[in-house]
Amino acid sequence: MRMLGYLGRAHRIGLLGLLLLALYLLVALAPGLVARQDPVAMGPERLAPPSAQHLFGTDRYGRDVLSRIAYGTRISFVVAVLAVLAAALLGSTLGVWAAYFGRTVDYLVMRVMDTVFAFPSLLLAIALAAVLGAGLHSVVVAIAIVYTPIFARVARAPTLSVKAQEYIVAAVAIGSSTPRILWRHVRPNILAPILVQMALSLSSAVIVEAALSFLGLGAVPPTPSLGSMLSEGRAFMELAPWTVLYPGAALAGLILSINLAGDMVRDILDPHHREVL
């Protein structure tokens, strides 16, 4: 109850972001609740303004913009979540290994991570997606590789602190295996910062996915994507601004909701805030 009271007082904006994110998640899981038409079905009413039949209008192929936004939101969610999960799993594993085994393993792993981290994230994602070819699988892999060094660093720092604790030394002394020590003793103590980083990385992953789709490296047409909708609609911004306005607003709202919810998660899991609770 004290936790809920604290959330109500200190995180009103965060709760609002969480509510908005829940709405986006509902649309992503069940786009049919919002989309009344087939998102890839072309019709005779091309670049039609918003109306009772097409609440957000249609694009240059006569496709319903609202339906494409609903299904495009699902793609953004799926790609971002899968990419962040893969990056968290791979990066945290490498970071824990580097810190726990030290010496040569630490040097090799972190130098590779530093090399990847040296490239601008969006530029590296574009290069990887171009090499792997257009498609959602390529986007997931590219984003996961780009964000792996971040999770490696996040996992390495607390592992260095944890492995020096007496209970780790005692576990080694009684003959516990390395996998058991890492799973039973190290993992619970580094989980909080990894979860926080996952929450904060989701919005960036959505932005990268939209950028790759905007450049034609993401979802393959006619698959709806918020980024590709912005790319297709930019040629008709003056004639049919709704083809860009609504997808852009949906993308901005999604990123904002993830950021607000992520900030709330970070504050809750932060040890200084837990002391207040």
Is 47 part of any domain? no
CATH number of domain containing 204? 1.10.3720.10
Single pTM value for the model: 0.88
Structure tokens, 35: 């989309």
Report the pLDDT value the prediction gives residue 210, as an integer from 0 to 100. Answer: 94
Of 29, 25, 41, 28, the residue nearest 69 (C-alpha): 28
Of 184, 171, 161, 147, the residue nearest 100 (C-alpha): 161
Q: What is the number of other CB atoms lying within 10 angstroms of the CB of residue 154?
A: 21
Task: Quote the radius of gyration of the chain (alpha carbons, Å).
Answer: 22
Structure tokens, 28: 């992503």
- Dist. CA 32–CA 230, nearest whole Å: 22
Cα–Cα–Cα angle for 101, 102, 103, rounded to 5 degrees: 125
Report the pLDDT value the prediction gives residue 276, as an integer from 0 to 100. Answer: 45
- The residue count of the chain comes to 277
Is 51 part of any domain? no
Q: What is the DSSP letter of 234?
A: G
Q: Angle 136-162/103-117 helices, nearest 10 degrees?
A: 140
pLDDT tens for the chain, 277 residues long, are 455 555 555 567 878 888 999 999 998 888 888 888 889 989 888 999 999 889 999 999 999 999 999 999 999 999 999 999 999 999 999 999 999 998 899 999 999 999 998 899 999 999 999 999 888 999 999 999 999 999 999 999 899 888 888 888 888 788 888 888 888 888 888 888 899 899 889 999 999 999 999 999 988 888 899 999 999 999 898 899 999 999 999 999 999 999 988 888 887 776 555 544 4
Report the pLDDT value the prediction gives residue 270, as an integer from 0 to 100. Answer: 64
Report the pLDDT value the prediction gives residue 177, as an integer from 0 to 100. Answer: 82
- Dist. CA 107–CA 45, nearest whole Å: 61
Is 194 part of any domain? yes
Report the pLDDT value the prediction gives residue 5, as an integer from 0 to 100. Answer: 54
Report the pLDDT value the prediction gives residue 15, as an integer from 0 to 100. Answer: 84
Is 250 part of any domain? yes
* Count: domains in the chain: 1
Is 120 part of any domain? yes
Residue-range definition of the domain harbouring residue 69: 2-35+58-276
